Each structure stands twice: as C-alpha cells, then as structure tokens.
C-alpha cells in the first residue's frame, strides 16, 4: 500500500512539473526571491569579413579577416593562418611581420589599415570585393586603399579592379574602414526616439520627444562586451552618455523602455588616439 501511494505521489508530482509553462511574460528569479532585472542578452557578434580577389578572371583568392578581442596586430598563432600556396604566380595575402597569411585575427579599430601583399609574375588584373561579412553596421564602408593613386574604394558595394605590375608589392594595397573624411554625427531614428553619436564632442545622445519612460541603457562593443550601463533613466526628453574613454569602432546601443521593449541602434565611435 505504501509503495502504491509513493508511486502515485511521484507521478502526480511529475505531471505538475511537466505542466509548468514559461513564456516571455513569466518572471525569472535570481535566487534571492526577486525578479531578475539584469542586462539584455548581448548581441551575437562574431565580426568577420571575407575579401575575394579575382585574378585575371582565372583564379579567386579568398582572405578572411576576423576580429577576436584577444588578437594583436602581430602574428597570433591562435588565429592567423599562413598562405601555403607559395608557388602560385599571381596571388594576394595579408602581410603580417614579413609573412603572407590567408586568415588574420585583429583587434578591431576604425582607424586601422590592414596591409595586403600582392605578387604577379606578369602584369595582371586584380578585382577586389567583399563577398561576406558579419557584425558590421549596414552603413559601415569597407575600403581598399590604393597607395599608388592615393584613392579609397568602397568594395563592400562596388568591386575595384586594377592592373598590378610584375613583382611583389607589400605597400600598395590596404583594407581600411575610413577614407580620411571626418566622421560626423551618426544619426538614426527609431519611431519617435532618436539616437546619435557626436564624435566631435565624444558623446552619445538620445532624444525622447514623447517623454517615453526609459528603464535602462546598455552599450555593447563589437565583441559583445557591455561598456556602458545606466539604470533608472525615467522619462526625460534628452539623454547623454560620454564615450570619451572608448576605443573607436562599431557599437550597439540598447534602450529598454518602461514596458520592457527594446530600442536598438548600431553607431560608429571615432575617438582620436583610441
């Protein structure tokens, strides 16, 4: 009899547990009896880009540039992969510490220029374009800088084709994220809420003309780290946050409204010297 009652108790307990339903409105507890009210889940940013180069319409070399936080400007054995095709008469590689690489890891900075190494046994046509990227703002250009002509070409939108003279050249071409034009204010609109980055004053501004209640603000860098967080913003028409201590790069701004909805916007911060 006792065994029968025990079995019945277990079955009823399991049935009750299996009927628990958690949806978007179910409060989550932090173990102290309080509702969890932490930061939003960071964006799944694993930034990278792929540079494809068509050489003489015969061969396409794919180079991959990734941006892990731990990477340096030098050779990183955990990320960088050497170009082992040394016998190709025409080719292109990343140029790192006097070596040719097909994959390079780099800590992202908007002001960096990434050198490329090109070689050609004979005069050859090189056509550069970005075949794939992730973690970049839709409006962020990706340039090829051609030092021979001192020109920038946004290969994210339009391929750049040029003739390369015979020999090896490690100084002519670079990948760049700016074209030396001054980055001004980057504005975006989400309904009636306006987010902007003023790089001259090194301040992120948000305008809230309808006085919506804002619960919190979070700013994530391109690696998914929260670099600024503010709570209890209440209802104000204007919010300002200093970005003077942040490195130049792409960031994701997130405002949480009083009803729990999110307003997000990618911004570009350009701080001289960072």
pLDDT digits (tens, 9 = 90+) for 64-101: 999 887 888 999 999 999 999 988 999 999 999 999 99
> In the prediction, which pLDDT does 243 show?
92
Rounded CA-CA distance 119/170 in Å is 9
**89 — phi, psi (to 5°)?**
-70, -35
pLDDT of 30 over the 50 cut: no
pLDDT for residue 57 is more than 70 = yes
- CA distance linking residue 93 with residue 144, whole number of Å: 14
Q: Nearest to residue 53, comparing CAs of 140, 124, 108, 109? A: 124
Map out the domains of the chain as residue ranges.
48-176, 186-269
Q: For 16-26, what is the mean pLDDT?
A: 39
Region 31-38: mean pLDDT is 52
- Confidence (pLDDT) at 170: 96
Measured CA to CA, the distance from residue 120 to residue 96 in angstroms comes to 19
The reply to whether CATH 2.60.40.3080 applies to domain 186-269 is yes
For residues 104 and 73, give the distance between their C-alpha atoms in angstroms, rounded to a whole number. 9
Task: Give the pLDDT mean for 129-145.
Answer: 85
Average pLDDT of 10-36?
Answer: 42
Reported as a pLDDT band with limits 50, 70 and 90, residue 27 is very low
Q: Kindly report the number of other CB atoms within 10 A of residue 193's CB atom.
A: 19
Note the pTM of the prediction, 2 decimals: 0.55
pLDDT level of residue 62 (50, 70, 90 thresholds): very high
Q: What does the alpha-carbon distance between residue 54 and residue 255 come to, in Å, rounded to a whole number?
A: 43
Distance in angstroms (rounded) separating the CA atoms of residues 152 and 175: 9
Q: Is the pLDDT of residue 50 over 50?
A: yes
pLDDT digits (tens, 9 = 90+) for 220-247: 887 778 899 998 888 888 899 999 989 8
């Amino acid at each position: 009899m006792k065994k029968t009652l025990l079995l019945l108790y277990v079955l009823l307990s399991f049935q009750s547990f299996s009927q628990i339903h958690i949806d978007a409105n179910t409060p989550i507890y932090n173990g102290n009896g309080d509702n969890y009210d932490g930061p939003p889940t960071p964006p799944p940013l694993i930034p990278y880009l792929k540079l494809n180069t068509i050489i003489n319409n015969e061969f396409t070399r794919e180079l991959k540039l990734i941006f892990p936080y731990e990477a340096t400007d030098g050779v990183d054995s955990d990320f960088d992969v050497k170009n082992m095709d040394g016998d190709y008469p025409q080719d292109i590689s990343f140029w790192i510490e006097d070596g040719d690489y097909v994959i390079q890891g780099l800590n992202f900075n908007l002001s960096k220029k990434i050198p490329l190494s090109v070689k050609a046994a004979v005069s050859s046509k090189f056509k550069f374009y970005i075949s794939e990227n992730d973690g970049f703002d839709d409006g962020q250009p990706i340039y090829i800088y051609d030092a021979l002509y001192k020109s920038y070409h946004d290969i994210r939108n339009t391929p750049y084709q040029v003739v390369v003279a015979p020999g090896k050249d490690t100084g002519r071409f670079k990948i760049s994220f700016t074209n030396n034009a001054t980055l001004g204010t980057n504005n975006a609109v989400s309904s009636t809420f306006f987010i902007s980055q003023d790089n001259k004053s090194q301040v992120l501004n948000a305008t809230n003309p309808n006085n919506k209640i804002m619960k919190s603000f979070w700013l994530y860098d391109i690696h998914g780290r929260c670099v600024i967080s503010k709570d209890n913003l209440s209802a104000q028409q204007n919010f300002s946050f200093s970005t003077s201590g942040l490195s130049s790069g792409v960031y994701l701004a997130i405002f949480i409204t009083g009803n729990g909805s999110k307003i997000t916007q990618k911004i570009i911060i350009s701080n001289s010297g960072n």
